[in-house]
């Protein structure tokens, strides 16, 4: 659920705030999701009021304007007012502390020239892109301290450049990066330069950069760029010294829109979307703020930014709060929050130095904190408090107004230094992340190079020790010659330098020695791990059918087969200073003061047979759930039902939020269909048909722009998000000695790279690629003979945890599906509670930031938290690797049960 915005409580805007607004029917960007206003769902206060145009726009040729959404919304508002969930606030209460702010310096990187712009990768939390004052760009892996890519500026095709650009380069060849940033999925990076040019590169996880498009975008400097999805395909927004904003197709470089109206150079752009209204904020160096729809009908607002000079704007991570930070020509800095519905300043933050030395830069994180570089330090604010919360000088060496950027999770903060470098600051989560990836990099550096292209199948070592099916290596980039890239946060699928030719000479004796020395970790008693059965005052035999960690890692939510939810919360104390879930400290089974239970509606008197489904909001404030009856939206603070929808038949069996619009939900149904449902207008937009039995799994990939579904028919279907047509389908193949065709619940989950897919069936685990081709599979045999009951990726994507119906848990390497650890049921289930083999995990949940911690939801109603005995240790030891290949077996007991199998034919 990490890609989705939270459900926000609503203070209903007046009907006039939305009436009269019309916009072209483009798909929205990620933005705040719906909240409750019986009898349906409506959105938070509308940005439309902020963007209100003095005249009603008329339809232009080729534009399709619509008013149905706003009229429907107004009708709902007339029915009843929304409930104010959090009194006096439009967002959840503050559950964070100063400990969550990254202030400890964990890395210092030397770029070699003055860093002008920096941006963390949206998917891989320790990869950072930087641009400098001499036109260079670099990509760093923070954990390994390695610069994995570097490019100096050059014009790719001077012949296609305009004469003004050629003249400017002839007069002065110096050029600086004004802005560099990643696309939403991290597959593309864009660079805006101080002279005319925008360049884009395609980025691979092995560090390879491929030139993509060069755009002669503006006369003069290109001051800012941003990525957007105004017409379903990815676009680049640019602004420049020529006082214009332009929109370009990111793939083709084709010009799409030009927005004119500023009277001075445009300094920054900030695209966003609310209520399907897509728009762009822009600021110019005269302090004017304007906003534009994608219709070329002129600016929708004209406001003055405090300071009347260089100003940037940014939304909170959940898209519900708008901030700006700017500096006047006299050096007075202003950080403010805007009231979008009024177009007025809501809050002004204090604490800046008078006469700041340079333009102050800022960033937001966790929907809670603001940070700005000022007075040779970094200053932090709580979004709800105008006074400075805390500061840090990052051990010194910062410029007067350092540039800074948080990573997506807010665990790391990059800040520029006065000696042409970058310091990386971390909170406790960030420190653990860096330590973990540093350790992994060290382990990989001791071993032989591994293959980096996930689509190239690894060499297969046969029983005689010879290697077959070796694929050719990819061409190397010049600056990467003779260098090994450690496998860190770029996933274990991208582990080494791509110019190394795989050594295919057999080394039988070395292989044999390594296989003898490696032994599978087999944990059979509780002394070798930390385990905790969560306290439960309600004793019944209900099964745990769904289990989730909250996104904060502070609580665990379970849904029983009796349709009742249970919530356990950990609290901060001396034994548990972080307040996060742990097997060392028992949490509290939480219940609101009103004593009500969070219970789903059921369709009949036997909810035990219903297929349950559940989804949690990003801010952990709301949960959407169903147990065979209507889908219910609960407030996690009060356990109250906010609204219900989608009454059966058919019953909902799986829920998944659209990655670009949290108002759109894909709902798998018992009748084999998938309904694409718009909760805002209470309407099914389309039904997808292709399965033969009920839907048991759904997974979106924003990178591939697809939805993959799985069913009890053991079939996988891939649907294009654009138009919802079926792109392909495939039945998973039965392993040897298994009857075909397969039937039974099949689950799917995308890897962090948004390309590889974990497919789980009782007969097998499978890793599939973007074409639904099976790259490797694993089937239960000798070491773990029981059928698979559940499986899931770890939060970092490096492991797969699988539960079995005999109670065992297997820990696998995600790239190879090699078993590295087996946890016997005797290690976490007390013999006094259950006899061996009588209980087993129905579902496994993985901690959102601790890759080695899992929670097991059992068929006897218990929930166990399990983690290694040492907080810094891992599950087992990775199997030995030689020449990029994995041994076919490690000992007779495990023979044929660990080997990564090619897809059945």
pLDDT digits (tens, 9 = 90+) for 847-856: 998 999 999 9
pLDDT digits (tens, 9 = 90+) for 402-427: 999 999 889 999 999 999 999 999 99
Q: Which residue has the higher pLDDT, 518 or 362?
A: 362
- State the pLDDT at residue 760: 97
Q: Where are the beta strands (DSSP E) in 455-564?
A: 460-461, 467-468, 521-523, 529-533, 544-549, 555-560
Q: Does 817 score more than 50 pLDDT? A: yes
High-pLDDT (> 90) share of the chain, %: 50
Q: Place 491 in a pLDDT band, splitting at 50, 70 and 90.
A: very low
Q: What is the pTM of this model?
A: 0.52
- State the pLDDT at residue 366: 80
- Of the listed ranges 372-381, 442-451, 500-509, 556-565, the least confidently predicted one is 500-509
- State the pLDDT at residue 60: 32
Q: Place 880 in a pLDDT band, splitting at 50, 70 and 90.
A: low
Strand-pairing partners, residue 17, are: none
- State the pLDDT at residue 541: 66
Q: Does 488 score more than 70 pLDDT? A: no
pLDDT digits (tens, 9 = 90+) for 132-142: 999 999 999 99
Report the candidate in 678, 700, 702, 676 with the shortest Cα–Cα distance to residue 689: 676
Q: Place 885 in a pLDDT band, splitting at 50, 70 and 90.
A: very low
Q: Which residue has the higher pLDDT, 1 or 670?
A: 670
Peptide bond into 902 cis (omega under 30): no
Q: Mean per-residue pLDDT for 294-320?
A: 87
Q: Mean per-residue pLDDT for 762-787?
A: 91
Bridge pairing between strands 521-523 and 819-823: parallel
- State the pLDDT at residue 459: 33
Contacts of 159 by beta carbon, 8 Å cutoff, 6+ apart? none
- Of the listed ranges 148-162, 212-226, 245-259, 270-284, the least confidently predicted one is 148-162
- Of the listed ranges 3-7, 92-96, 119-123, the least confidently predicted one is 3-7
Report how far residue 290's alpha carbon sits from residue 282's, in angstroms, rounded to the nearest whole number: 5
CA atoms within 13 A on the CB side of 167: 5
Q: Does 114 score more than 50 pLDDT? A: yes
Q: Place 6 in a pLDDT band, splitting at 50, 70 and 90.
A: very low
Q: Which residue has the higher pLDDT, 154 or 458?
A: 154
Q: Does 9 score more than 70 pLDDT? A: no
- State the pLDDT at residue 606: 64
Q: Place 19 in a pLDDT band, splitting at 50, 70 and 90.
A: very low
- State the pLDDT at residue 835: 66
Q: Mean per-residue pLDDT for 773-781?
A: 92
CA 749 to chain centre: 13
- State the pLDDT at residue 376: 93
Q: Does 676 score more than 80 pLDDT? A: yes
- State the pLDDT at residue 522: 87
Note whether 742 and 761 are within 8 A (CB). yes
Q: Is 69 helix (H, G, I), strand (E, B) or coil?
A: helix
How confident is the prediction for the chain on average, in pLDDT? 78
- State the pLDDT at residue 584: 92
If you write DSSP's letter for every residue of 376-440 in order, what string do you get? TEEEEEETT-SSEEEEE-TTS---SS--EEE-TTSSEEEEE-TTSEEEEEE-HHHHHHHHHHHHH
pLDDT digits (tens, 9 = 90+) for 248-284: 999 899 999 999 999 999 999 999 988 778 899 999 9
């Amino acid at each position: 659920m990490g890609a989705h915005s939270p459900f926000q409580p609503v203070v209903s805007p007046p009907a006039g705030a939305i009436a009269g607004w019309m916009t072209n029917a483009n798909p929205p960007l990620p933005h705040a999701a719906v909240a409750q206003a019986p009898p349906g769902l409506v959105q938070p206060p509308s940005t439309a009021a902020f963007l209100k145009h003095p005249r009603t726009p008329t339809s232009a040729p080729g534009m399709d304007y619509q008013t149905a959404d706003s009229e429907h919304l107004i009708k709902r508002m007339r029915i009843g007012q929304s409930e104010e969930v959090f009194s006096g606030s439009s967002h959840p209460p503050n559950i964070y502390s100063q400990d969550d702010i990254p202030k400890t310096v964990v890395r210092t990187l030397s770029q070699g020239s003055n860093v002008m712009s920096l941006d963390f990768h949206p998917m891989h939390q320790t990869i950072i892109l930087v641009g400098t004052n001499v036109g260079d760009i670099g990509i760093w892996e923070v954990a390994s301290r390695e610069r994995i890519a570097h490019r100096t500026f050059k014009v790719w095709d001077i012949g296609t450049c305009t004469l003004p650009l050629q003249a400017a380069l002839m007069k002065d060849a110096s050029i600086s990066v004004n802005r560099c940033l990643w696309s939403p999925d991290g597959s593309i990076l864009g660079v805006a330069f101080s002279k005319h040019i925008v360049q884009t590169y395609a980025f691979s996880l092995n560090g390879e950069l491929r030139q993509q498009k060069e755009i002669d975008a503006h006369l003069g400097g290109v001051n800012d760029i941003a990525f957007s999805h105004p017409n379903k395909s990815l676009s680049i927004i640019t602004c420049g010294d020529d006082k214009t904003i332009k929109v370009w197709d990111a793939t083709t470089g084709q010009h799409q829109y030009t927005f004119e109206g500023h009277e001075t150079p445009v300094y920054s752009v900030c695209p966003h979307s609310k209520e399907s209204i897509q728009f762009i904020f822009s600021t110019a160096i005269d302090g004017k703020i304007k906003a534009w729809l994608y219709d070329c009908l002129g600016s929708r607002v004209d406001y003055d930014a405090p300071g009347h000079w260089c100003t940037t704007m940014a939304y909170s991570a959940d898209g519900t709060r708008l901030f700006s930070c700017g500096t006047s020509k006299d050096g007075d800095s202003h950080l403010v929050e805007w009231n979008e519905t009024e177009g007025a300043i809501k809050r002004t933050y204090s604490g800046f130095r008078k006469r700041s030395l340079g333009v102050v830069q800022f960033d937001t994180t966790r929907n809670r904190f603001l940070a700005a570089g000022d007075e040779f330090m970094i200053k932090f604010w709580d979004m709800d408090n105008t006074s400075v919360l805390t500061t840090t000088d990052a051990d010194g060496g910062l410029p007067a107004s350092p540039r800074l950027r948080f990573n997506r999770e807010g665990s790391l903060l990059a800040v520029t230094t006065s000696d042409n470098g970058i310091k990386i600051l971390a909170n406790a989560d960030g420190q653990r992340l860096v330590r973990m990836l540093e350790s992994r990099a060290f382990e990989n550096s001791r071993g032989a190079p591994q293959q980096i292209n996930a689509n190239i199948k690894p060499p297969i070592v046969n029983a005689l020790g010879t290697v077959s099916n070796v694929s050719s290596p990819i061409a190397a980039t010049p600056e990467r010659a003779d260098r090994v890239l450690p496998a860190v946060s770029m996933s274990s699928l991208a582990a080494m330098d791509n110019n190394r030719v795989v050594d295919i000479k057999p080394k039988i004796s070395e292989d044999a020695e390594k296989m003898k020395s490696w032994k599978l970790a087999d944990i059979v008693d509780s002394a070798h791990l930390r385990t905790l059965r969560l306290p439960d005052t309600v004793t019944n035999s209900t099964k745990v059918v769904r289990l989730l960690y909250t996104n904060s890692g502070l609580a665990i939510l379970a849904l029983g087969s009796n349709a009742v939810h249970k919530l356990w919360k950990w609290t901060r104390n001396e034994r548990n200073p972080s307040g996060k879930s742990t097997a060392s400290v028992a949490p509290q089974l939480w219940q609101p003061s009103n004593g009500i239970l969070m219970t789903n509606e059921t369709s009949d008197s036997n909810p035990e047979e219903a297929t349950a489904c559940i989804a949690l909001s990003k801010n952990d404030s709301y949960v959407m759930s169903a147990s065979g009856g209507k889908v219910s939206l609960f407030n996690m603070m009060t356990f109250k039902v906010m609204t219900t929808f989608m009454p059966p038949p058919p019953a909902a069996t799986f829920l998944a939020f659209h990655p670009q619009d949290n108002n759109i939900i894909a709902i798998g149904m018992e009748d084999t269909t998938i309904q694409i449902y718009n909760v805002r207008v209470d309407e099914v937009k389309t039904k997808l048909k292709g399965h033969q039995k009920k839907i048991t799994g759904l997974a979106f990939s924003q990178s591939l722009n697809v939805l993959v579904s799985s069913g009890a028919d053991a079939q996988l279907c891939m649907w294009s998000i654009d138009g919802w047509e079926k792109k392909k389908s495939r039945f998973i193949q039965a392993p040897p000695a298994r009857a075909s065709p397969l039937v039974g619940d099949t689950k799917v989950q995308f890897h962090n790279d948004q390309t590889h897919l974990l497919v789980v069936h009782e007969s097998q685990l499978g890793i599939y690629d973007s074409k639904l081709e099976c790259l490797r599979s694993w089937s239960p045999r000798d070491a773990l003979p029981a059928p698979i009951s559940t499986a899931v990726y770890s939060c970092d994507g490096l492991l797969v945890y699988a539960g079995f119906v005999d109670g065992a848990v297997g820990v696998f390497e995600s790239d190879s599906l090699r078993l590295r650890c087996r946890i016997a049921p005797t290690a976490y289930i007390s013999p006094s509670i259950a006899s061996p083999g009588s209980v087993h995990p129905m579902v496994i949940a993985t901690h959102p930031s601790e890759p080695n911690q899992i929670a097991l939801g059992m068929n006897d109603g218990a929930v166990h938290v399990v983690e290694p005995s040492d907080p810094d240790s891992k599950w087992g030891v990775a199997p030995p690797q030689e020449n990029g290949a994995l041994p076919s077996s490690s000992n007779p007991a495990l023979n044929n049960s660990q080997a990564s199998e090619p897809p059945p034919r």
